[in-house]
A and B are shown apart, each in its own frame.
Chain A
Amino acid sequence: MKIEIMNLSKKYGSLYALQNVNLTLGQGRIVGLLGPNGSGKTTLIKLLNGLIQPTQGQILMDGQKPGVYSKSKISYLPDKTYLNSQMTVEQLVDLFGDFYADFNFSKADDLLKRLNIPVQQKLKTLSKGTQEKVQLALVMSREAEAYILDEPIGGVDPVGRDYILQTIISQYNRNATVIISTHLISDVENVLDDVIMIKNGGIFLYDSVENIREREGKSIDEMFKEVMRWY
């Protein structure tokens, strides 16, 4: 999926959460969206998902504004529990499969099995870490054209984190764009193709991990920390 962001701004009252953002994301790239809290990351993600409307500018996904079509092509993992915990894992698989034509049932079964998730149990009976794995499994079971993962490794232990990254790599589809928003940069660096660094509602860097490492001789994590000090 080609994602074009043009002169995008979002204002809340008199405050700009995002100001004049211009970006074009190509297909098949795994992109890191890096920035501190309040930088506009969440706003950008909500705009991409059509949860809020821009104040100015526009987003085009394969030439269309966020809407029913783009939602059918984007698989979104929010950074909170967003599933009805009264439902069983099986029922949730059923729900996803019903609404998303690109949902792959066998992939879902496989992922859930590998993650040792008891599918007949209600979500609320599972530990928080397991719930997050369920959410990730459902999102990654879709053969989507774009994946937007908001802090996918945030509340998980290191073993779980590693597993999640492995899942992201193994489900990688060269036609799909993957956007990973995170502040745990060092954990995901090796998986990223490109990084977008955002602060105070503006993009101040969009480059490939390779270029940055060659140019700066530093890890993205180190570079990010340094640059953040200056802004």
Chain B
Amino acid sequence: MVLKLIKHEFKYLGRYLLLIWAGMILMIVSQRLLTELRESQNTIWQLVSGTAFGLLFFTLAAMFLVTFGAIVMRFYQNMFSGEGYLTFTLPVKASQIVFSKLFTGAVFMLVPLLIAGLVLVSYIRAPETWYLLYSGFIEFMAESDLPIYVLVIWGLSIVLAPVLQLLEFYTAMSLGQLANRNKIIFSIIAYIGIYVAKQFLGVIIWLSLLMGNYVEKIEMYPFQVVKYASIIGFVTTISLIVINWLIVNYLCKNKLNLE
């Protein structure tokens, strides 16, 4: 059943986003090509190239935002608008519904990431640069004595960041739909609340860590701090994902307020 839900999410969002992405990728490619003019002697071309860089950055950022926005809007419409009457009477569990949307959203968010990565990589021309990067990386690992799993954690954190961000929006909307009127406004308020709570939580964690017996550790090797910070950050992200997941599921299952 989950697979069916995912299939339909992909179909629907895909149809919509593929078109938008196609247009944006065209813009990105042309902007990227224009930035090649930076080598030129002509000031006009240099200006064009400079503008292109700006536009390129903007378009890449827009691609992230538009993708994210589409995923979030789809969630709201399909769960809490009139469509909710269909979604929640399908013979599936609420958790399966939320999971299918989260999964599809996470996968779709990888696309702008991939495009941005490709653009970045496209600036590395000479094979020597690759070797330089590689040897620099090896040196870094040797000097810092960071265990491999820290790199794994960093990689996972990049993938999980949009997941958490999506979930936070989902939580905000699940809270917002509790209101009888102005659900969207309440969702925004809820999101602000979540944001503030998260910042507050972050401050508390860091303060307690600093004030605790770990003060001596500041004087230790800086990469140790990086290691522990990465672990703490990762654990926090996972915990927040779990907490948000539980909240969304609880609200959808028990406090659905369709109108």
Contacts and interface: CB of A to CB of B under 8 A. Distances in A.
Query: Are chains A and B touching in the complex at the 8 Å CB cutoff?
Result: yes
Interface of A: 46, 49-53, 68-69, 71-72, 74, 76, 78, 80-84, 87, 95, 98-100
Contacts of B258: 46, 51
Nearest to A95: B8
B256 interface: yes
Contacts of B90: 71, 99
Interface string B89-113: 1111100000000000000000000
Given A52-B256, A71-B91, A78 B4 contact: no
Contacts of B4: 98-99
Nearest to A68: B91
Which 6 A-B residue pairings sit nearest by Cβ, starting from the closest? Answer: A72-B91, A82-B85, A71-B91, A78-B85, A82-B82, A82-B86
Among B78, B85, B254, find the residue whose CB has the most chain A CB atoms closer than 10 A: B85
B93 to A, nearest CB: 6
B57 interface: no
A185 to B, nearest CB: 24
20 contacts: A46-B258, A50-B89, A51-B88, A51-B256, A51-B258, A52-B256, A68-B92, A69-B91, A71-B91, A76-B89, A78-B85, A80-B82, A80-B85, A81-B82, A82-B85, A83-B83, A84-B77, A98-B4, A98-B8, A99-B4
A72 to B, nearest CB: 4
A197 to B, nearest CB: 25
Given A51-B258, A98-B8, A99-B4, A68 B93 contact: yes
Interface of B: 1, 4, 7-8, 12, 77-78, 82-86, 88-93, 254, 256, 258
A69 B78 CA distance: 22
Summarize A's interface: helix, strand, loop or mixed: loop
Contacts of B84: 82
B83 A84 contact: yes
Contacts of A76: 85, 89
A41 B1 CA distance: 31
A85 to B, nearest CB: 9
A51 B8 contact: no
Contacts of A87: 12
A83 B77 CA distance: 11
Contact of B78 (A52, A80, A84, A98): A84
Contacts of A53: 254
A95 B84 CA distance: 15
Contacts of A80: 82, 85
B92 A82 contact: no
B255 to A, nearest CB: 8
A132 to B, nearest CB: 13
A172 B92 CA distance: 26
A74 B78 CA distance: 20
A99 B86 CA distance: 11
Contacts of A46: 258
A35 B208 CA distance: 60
Contacts of B91: 68-69, 71-72, 99-100
Contacts of B12: 84, 87
Among A53, A71, A76, A84, find the residue whose CB has the most chain B CB atoms closer than 10 A: A84
B89 A51 contact: yes
A80 B85 CA distance: 9
Nearest to A72: B91
Nearest to B87: A82
A99 B83 contact: no
Nearest to A98: B4
Contacts of A50: 88-89
Contact of A83 (B1, B86, B88, B92): B86
A82 B86 CA distance: 6
Nearest to B91: A72
Nearest to A135: B86
A81 B85 CA distance: 9
A80 B259 CA distance: 9
Nearest to B180: A12
B11 to A, nearest CB: 8
B65 to A, nearest CB: 21
A206 B68 CA distance: 51
Contacts of A99: 1, 4, 90-92
Given A51-B88, A74-B89, A82-B86, 8 more contacts: A51-B85, A53-B254, A72-B91, A83-B83, A84-B77, A98-B7, A99-B1, A99-B91
